[in-house]
Every structure is written in C-alpha cells, then in structure tokens.
Amino acid sequence: MNSKPQYLLNSKQSVTEIALPVFVGENYKASALLGAKVYSVGVVPGDCSDGLVGPPVNELLGSLGGYSKRYRQGYLDSLSVILLAGLSLSRFQEETQDPSALYALCLPRRDQNFKPKSRYRVNAIGHTQWCKIIDQMVCAGFLTKLGGGYRGKGHFSGISTLYSLTDKLIKWFEQTSTNMWLEQLSDHRETIYLKTKEVKTIKGKPVAVKLSVDYEDDDTTRSFRDQLLRITEVCQAHRFTVLPKGKMTREFLPPTMLDYTRSFRDDFEGGGRVYCRAQCISQESRKTLTIDGRPTVELDYKSHQIRILYHSRGVEAETDCYADPHLPRSLIKAATTRVMNCSDEKQAVRVLSQLLKEEESKQEGAATLPERLGAKALLETVLRLNPIIKDAMSDTLWRELQYIESCIALGIMDVLASNGVPCLGIHDSFVVPKDAENLLRQLMMEKYYERLGFYPIVSEA
C-alpha cells in the first residue's frame, strides 16, 4: 500500500477551500451561567495537532511582540491553534447568525493542560507561551474576555475562561484567509492513547482530571496501531467533500480529519473507542458528503450500546430500546446511557437531575418536556423500559461496552479497507460510497454476530 497517498501531498490548500477540524457547539453550562445561549469552541492545548500557518500568521506573531528564538515555536504554535479555533468560530457565527447568542473560545489557563507525555506531544506549546499569546491578543484588540475564574457556592465546574472574537479579528480573517493553510504542527502523532483519571488538589480543592499515561509497546498495541494505520491510509487516499449549510461550493476534508486514533482507559481491555476529527461533522452535513465525487450512504446500529448490554448477557432486546409514548426518544436515549454508567440509583438521580437542567436550557428541549418531570420519574421510566440496567449499572460498565463496540467497528472498517473502500466511522455508524452499501450492511451484520451471537438492527441514518 502506498505509504504516502497523493491527497496528502496537497498540504497548502487555502483554508477558504477546506472544512476546519474544530467542533463548535452549544455550551450548556456557560449558557446557564451567562443567561444567554453560548456557542463555543473548547481547546485543549496539549491535544491540538493542527494549526493555521502562512505568512499572515508569522506577521501577526511579529506584531504581537518579540520572542526569543528558543521559545518562538511555542508562541507560534499557540497562535496557530487559537487562530484555527477562532476561524472555526467565526465561520459558525456567520452560518448561524443568531443575534441573541454569544460566541466564545474556551481557552484554559491551568498548567495541567500543557504537560503531555513525550509519546503524545503534538506541538511545542508551553503554559507560559500560551497564556502570553492570549493576553497579547486581548491587548491588541483581537479577543475580548467574556468571563472566567468561576468560583463560589454553586459555581459550575468545567468551564474554561471564555473569550469572544472582536470585529478586528474577524476582519483580519477576511483579509488573510486565502493566504493561510492548515498544517500538522508536528511530524509525530500517536494513534493509541492510554488514559486514566486521577484526583488532584488544585487551589485547595480536589478535582478529577483525565491524564494520558505512557506505556510499553507490545504485540497488542502494535497490532492496534497497524490496524488504524491501514484504515487511515485508505481514507486519506480519497477525497472527502461536504457542502456546508448556506454555501454554494463544496469544502474538502483535510487528511488530518481522517486520521484515526483509539483511546483506552487504564488498560487495553477497557474503552478503546475509535476517533477521528471528521466525526465532528453534523449529521446534516454528512448527508452532503461525497467521496471522490460519489454520493455516500450512512448506516448505523439501532439502540447500539443498550443492545450490546442485552446481547453480551445472552438476552434478546426490544426492537427500539428507547421508545416511550410520553417522553422524547432523544431524552430516553441520553438518560439510559447516563444511568448505565452510574454506580447506583442514588447517583443516577443526581446525574439525571443535571441532564434535565441541560434539557431545560435548550429552547427546543424545554418545549418537549412534560411539566414537573423529575429525575426519579425519569429513572423509573428508564428502568421500566430496560430492566436489565438495574443489575448491570456500574460506573465501569462503559469500559466493557465501548470495547465491544470499538472491536466491532474496527473489524468492519478493516475489511472495508482491505477492499479499498474508504469509510468514515462514527462509533456505531459508518459512511461509505453508495455503491458499497450492500458490503457495509453485510459486514455490520456479520461482525456483530461474530462478537455477540445475536443479529443487530441496521438502518439508514
């Protein structure tokens, strides 16, 4: 197989012609805190492997300040990442045009975001360089601080400092976008992640943080990595395009959006979910996806994780495990997933209370909820629809289910790759050229049955 597909050679495509690998979505915690709908981009500096590069970026760095040669790359990578997130937010704001909403970058400033193990290092960003670039962009009038440092009784955890784009930065994007392109900031990118969760004391308070940990490669990790590379190489050898909402011209997905990774928790037998940044494309946009100009189809597993739970215990499942005559299917699905991963019913009530708060903060969500729906009543509905959860629920159940899900998904995608068929996998759904639909459907049935001994329900998404 060609180790460097032709598509990868076209690395200087203007950012005006490509889809950007950054997800923008509603930030429900920030919306509740600020009293207005907030759309945001969450940035984790240590995980950012792509940035905007080109002469305008270098000129902007020079205008912000002078930097020693030793640390210049760290400042440049910081600026590149922030600009990529900012351009993504600017595009999203232009598309949604919601005058009542706030649009923000979530730019963390705590130092635990800047110390990845060498195995996972994908840029030269350091804590000092990152914070200095943010502050200089504020001073230069490119960013405005919306809020940060949320503290006090009842404060929301998990919200990074929020910054909005100024008209000056949006105008700068309009003037420079044709001369900038997307680039991978480092030649190295690990594909097999091993993570853990630790409780650390930050400013005198215990905080649970996720950490990437190092590991010794063995036959298992090497086989996982080889499988991902086979799938990635086939995808990157093809041209994926989408037609963004409200636009007349198609955008290419850059190759790094089709760079598959796999994330495990604590060991290589738990979790293992498969990721690529093209997964952030909305379902609406995926319906416009073409591969080499060919139309595509998306097939998915119905009620996938709860069905895996039933079948892994040797029990048949209902046709639709989330169907209830009184509550929205989307709410039942979200509630079921959260309850399955609680240690007991007491924790489940707390988790569902938070879910209901999030739903009520959505304008469309509040209108579909029955009056005075409580967390206990919602829990009773979940357990009535799927009584198997009562005995199976555990805060580690997700490890088992995600591992099974990922093994099935990779089995499907690997066979597709061996047949030269590119595939965008989104956990339990798969997008392939329309002419490969029958092969995909057959593989989805076969690989599921091989793993669990039951047949799934496969439908068009």
Choose among 178, 192, 163, 202: nearest CA to 264: 192
pTM of the model: 0.84
* Predicted local distance difference test score (pLDDT) of residue 113: 62
* Predicted local distance difference test score (pLDDT) of residue 36: 87
**pLDDT tens digits in sequence order for the chain, 461 residues long:** 334 444 444 457 788 888 888 888 888 888 878 888 899 998 989 889 999 999 999 999 999 987 888 899 999 999 999 999 999 999 999 888 888 899 999 998 877 667 677 899 999 999 999 999 999 999 999 999 986 655 444 444 557 889 999 999 999 999 999 999 999 898 888 999 999 988 776 667 777 777 889 999 999 999 999 999 999 999 999 999 999 877 888 999 998 899 999 999 999 999 999 999 999 888 888 999 999 999 999 999 999 999 999 999 999 999 999 999 989 898 999 999 999 999 999 999 999 999 988 887 665 545 567 777 899 999 999 999 999 999 999 989 999 999 999 999 999 999 999 999 999 999 999 999 999 999 999 999 999 999 999 999 999 98
* Predicted local distance difference test score (pLDDT) of residue 247: 80
* Predicted local distance difference test score (pLDDT) of residue 148: 61
* Predicted local distance difference test score (pLDDT) of residue 444: 98
Fold category of 205-306+398-460 in CATH:
Alpha-Beta Plaits (3.30.70)
Give the residue extent of every domain in the chain. Answer: 6-189, 205-306+398-460, 322-385
- DSSP code for 327: S
* Beta strands per DSSP E along 124-234: 143-147, 162-165, 181-184, 192-202, 205-212
* Predicted local distance difference test score (pLDDT) of residue 157: 53
CA dist 247 and 169 (Å) reads 22
* Predicted local distance difference test score (pLDDT) of residue 370: 74
Q: Are the C-beta atoms of 84 and 100 separated by less than 8 Å?
A: no
CA dist 76 and 79 (Å) reads 5
* Predicted local distance difference test score (pLDDT) of residue 21: 87
